[in-house]
Amino acid sequence: MTNQTDLGPAARAYRAEVREWLCAHAPAELNGVDVDDATPEQACRLARWAEGIHQAGYMCVTWPAEYGGQGLSRLESSILDEEFARAGLPRMTRGVGEWLVAPAILQWGTPEQKAYFLPRIADGTDRYCQGFSEPDAGSDLAGLKTVGQVDGGELVISGQKVWTSGAERANILFCLCRTDPLAPRHRGISYVLVPMRTAEGASNGIELRPIRQLDGDADFTATFLDEARAPLGNVIGGLNNGWRVTMTTLGSERAGSSPTHHLPFTRQFWAAVAIARDRGLIQDARVRQELAWAFTHVEIMRYQGLAAFGDAVAGREPGARASISKIFWSEYSQRFLDRVANVRGPQAMLLPDQPADSYEPDDWTLALLRSLSSTIWGGTAEIQRNIVGERLLGLPRGS
């Protein structure tokens, strides 16, 4: 359960409305389910839960009503986070379509693009995956080599993307390509929504090759585009203006934490305390020091979430505060999980009993392996430090 801040009668009324709806409609079988680790059966239930949330008006709530939202503020969105967390239920969203693509369309799209694309994100018709990173252009997005050429009323795109998450479930790739090879690095780039398949259901010149990860999953793909086609009406912000649109998407990707962001780390902390107690290490001075360190960091995350909540109430954008938060929790997570492995001892090096041809690490090992990428995705820790140095500290830009 989260600590609640009294934000006045309107906020109390909205909180009561959401809480009442959750009490009436909450599926008990989804209590505590992790969306990222759902079984196929749970995934079907989550899809039905998402549709129920949409029908109730709790999906994409900050969007204008004419595009499928409710026209609410970040304050109400934060209240939703709190109430779903309080109920122990996943607050389903429309993924990167809602978090990353929609903000770019809202700011840079034409009226026609907003009217077409946004409702299709809100109702789940379109599911997006991201085509930014390339083998030779990760954090250096301006170094991309994927090209787009105008052919009548279409853009024809060829190149390679990498680390495309959720591509096998998506039907649209939001993609960066260079449409003016003679322009300076940050110009001549276009931001385009590329259908994964043609109207007839055939591949739209897009090949996906799964990338096996440390944890045994293959959630990412290498994505090859061979003359993939998209209507020029799918270019957001106009040809050669994609860098500015991209900054909107990246700003959303690095947005500030909600007041519930610390909760998974809190649960992990108390689970680690239980491990130390079970192994007879709870009185060990070094272990207690490590646990005190972890508890302090989780509390700092809680206060960071409250600060972000204050920004939401005041209508302020998170700005570089989001970068500080991202650095803090991602680096903490790696160090904490490494220290938990030390407390677990030899057990941390063993796989649970399973068939010889399986590779299914336990939850703690999975968390440790997955944490290794947290300082990379969404902008590396080095990039985040550059943002803090330049935008908060006023340091000169790097060369």
Q: What six digits make up the tokens of 92? A: 């389903």
Residue-wise over 114-143: b if at least 16 C-beta within 10 A, else e?
bebbbbbbbebebbbbbbbbbeebbeebee
Rounded to 10 deg, the angle between the 321-344 and 263-278 helix axes is 20
- Decide: helix, strand or coil at residue 351: coil
Tokens linked to 261: 């962001």
Write out the catalytic residue numbers.
253
Which among 264, 235, 249, 247 is positioned nearest to 112, based on CA atoms? 235
3-state secondary structure of 322: helix
Torsion of CA 34, 36, 37, 40, to 10 degrees: 100
- Please provide the distance, in angstroms rounded to a whole number, between the alpha carbons at the two ends of the chain: 46
Tokens found for residue 57 = 């008006």
235-236/172-178 β-pairing:
unpaired
